Amino acid sequence: MKAADLLEQIDHIDTFKHYGRVKRVVGLMIESQGPESSIGDVCYIHVGHKKKRKIQAEVVGFKDENIILMPYTTVNDIAPGSLVEATLKPLEIKVGPGLIGGVFDSLGQPLDGSPLPKGLTPVLTEQQPPNPLTRPPIDESIEVGVRMIDSLLTVGNGQRVGIFAGSGVGKSTLLGMIARNTTADLNVIALIGERGREVREFIERDLGPEGLARSIVVVATSDQPALMRIKGAFTATAIAEYFRDKGLNVMMMMDSVTRVAMAQREVGLAIGEPPTTKGYTPSVFAILPKLLERTGTNVHGSITSFYTVLVDGDDMNEPIADTVRGILDGHFVLDRDLANKGQYPAVNVLKSVSRIMNHIVPEEHRKSAEKLREMLSTYINSEDLINIGAYKKGSSRKIDEAIRLYPEIIDFLKQETSSKVSLDDGLQQLYRLMGKGE
């Protein structure tokens, strides 16, 4: 850089610090008279009498001439007149290969309190999605190591998929299987709004040492402020984007996008937004596409993403589920009835769709998958008649065939959580199974 350029940059440096003062605190909201700031800027609130410390907060709105702040931590020790210092820039995190194998909070700091490794690059947590015209089309599959998904719901490299389920149906277990078995270069896993107990369980039991060694985990537990839960999602996405821009194929998993929406609802209600659809504020439906569209392909690499959606009472048409399903490139539905029968992964193949599959798989693969779906559907539709003995063998050739192959189809759909089935092995098993029906 030339000396003249350096001098010009020095001339534009603001050497003053900008301060304001806290006027009032209402619930999650802190109202401050000054300093001059923009939406999204980070501010420091100086608190404590004997032991001085700073609380990070973000500008989320304005009221008359005052700014409205939301803290990243609890609001303890904030008093009337507390000093508010402006940074005049949004939240940045530091990213690099040194993060791989680590667990971090929403601000990109190691969760175990250790220092960040050296050689990291600062990046903004909020970025614009890639230009639609620069996104390469998805033309190849990515292996996730789960036989049912690879053969019947094939995922493309750069596809975005929603995993829809009620609580306790096996979402975390399925994510752990994918993280351990996938052929992607790197996993970025965001645990948003999880119970504190479940975080370590997921890392040690579902992910395991093998999965963690090729993963970066971002955690925002349910007890943390709403803004930290929102930032956890954006921080994980920014980390995945950094590695995508380095040319890697990244596998990103977020559990769950519903809790991000709930956190945004808390923020929206606190700053005075009107509740609309089932209590969700308009900003919830604005933030979802902004977040979900950031993943996918770009000219450098790809982010294949799985977003879990927690559906209340197994209602697949509630507002968040409906909105997310419309944005993503496919949805896998986990069925409580299948889980109760001991069929894991409990993915209901007939209710699940991969919108990319037909464009990226060979004709033989597509036809075999369609035939298995048809046979499974035939059996399910006639199951009541079969179980009560009202169906007579020979009445329908198609039903006879479905009854004969049903036990083998169920065995094909099941998979132990500790096992890995390659795409080639899964396809060979599918072709053999469908060959028996001819």
Fold of 17-90: Thrombin, subunit H (2.40.10)
54 forms beta bridges with: 46
pLDDT at 313 (0 to 100): 66
Residue 274 sits at φ, ψ, to 5 deg, of -80, 140
Indicate if the pLDDT at residue 271 is higher than 70.
Answer: yes
Q: What is the mean pLDDT of residues 6-21?
A: 72
pLDDT at 11 (0 to 100): 64
Q: Read off the pTM.
A: 0.91
pLDDT at 235 (0 to 100): 96
The least confident of 50-64, 159-173, 205-219 is: 50-64
Ramachandran region, residue 423 (left: φ > 0; alpha: ψ -120 to 50; beta: rest): alpha
Contact 256, 171 (CB under 8 A): yes
Question: Domain spans of the chain?
Answer: 17-90, 93-360, 364-436
Three-state SS for 136? coil
Indicate if the pLDDT at residue 75 is higher than 90.
Answer: no
**Of 419, 383, 422, residue with least CA distance to 403:** 383
Say how far apart CA 374 and CA 113 lie, in whole Å: 53
Token output for 311: 């559906």
Cβ burial of 247 (10 Å; 0-12, 13-18, 19+) is exposed
pLDDT at 170 (0 to 100): 86
Distances in whole angstroms, Cα of residue 4 to Cα of each of 1, 8, 13, 15, 107: 8, 6, 15, 19, 36
| Alpha-carbon 30 to chain mean position | 29
Indicate if the pLDDT at residue 437 is higher than 80.
Answer: no
Mean pLDDT computed over every residue of the chain: 90
Say how far apart CA 105 and CA 385 lie, in whole Å: 54
Indicate if the pLDDT at residue 15 is higher than 70.
Answer: no
Higher pLDDT, 391 or 179: 179
Three-state SS for 331? strand
Residue 212 sits at φ, ψ, to 5 deg, of -65, -35
Contact 99, 120 (CB under 8 A): yes
Indicate if the pLDDT at residue 281 is higher than 60.
Answer: yes
Q: What is the mean pLDDT of residues 8-19?
A: 69
Model confidence at 263, pLDDT cuts 50, 70, 90, reads: very high
Q: What is the pLDDT of residues 126-172, one digit of tens each?
A: 999 999 999 999 999 999 999 999 999 999 999 999 999 988 888 88
110: which DSSP letter? Answer: B
Token output for 136: 């390469």
Residue 309 sits at φ, ψ, to 5 deg, of -125, 115
Q: What is the mean pLDDT of residues 50-65?
A: 86
Q: What is the pLDDT of residues 370-429, one digit of tens each?
A: 999 999 999 999 888 888 888 888 788 898 999 999 999 999 999 998 899 999 999 999
Tell me: domain 93-360, CATH 3.40.50.12240, correct? yes
Model confidence at 270, pLDDT cuts 50, 70, 90, reads: confident
DSSP annotation string for 258-287 = HHHHHHHHHHHHHTTPPP-GGG--HHHHHH
Three-state SS for 299? coil
**Where do the H-state alpha helices sit in 153-248?**
171-181, 196-201, 208-212, 226-245
Indicate if the pLDDT at residue 107 is higher than 60.
Answer: yes
DSSP annotation string for 156-177 = BTT-EEEEEE-TTSSHHHHHHH
% pLDDT > 70, the chain: 95
Q: What is the mean pLDDT of residues 267-293?
A: 90
Say how far apart CA 297 and CA 245 lie, in whole Å: 10
Which residues, in sequence order, are CB contacts of 282 under 8 Å at separation 6+? 268, 273, 274, 276
345: which DSSP letter? Answer: S
Model confidence at 12, pLDDT cuts 50, 70, 90, reads: low
Say how far apart CA 68 and CA 39 lie, in whole Å: 9
**One-letter amino acid for residue 5 of the chain:** D
Range 364-436: architecture per CATH: Up-down Bundle (1.20)
Three-state SS for 111? coil
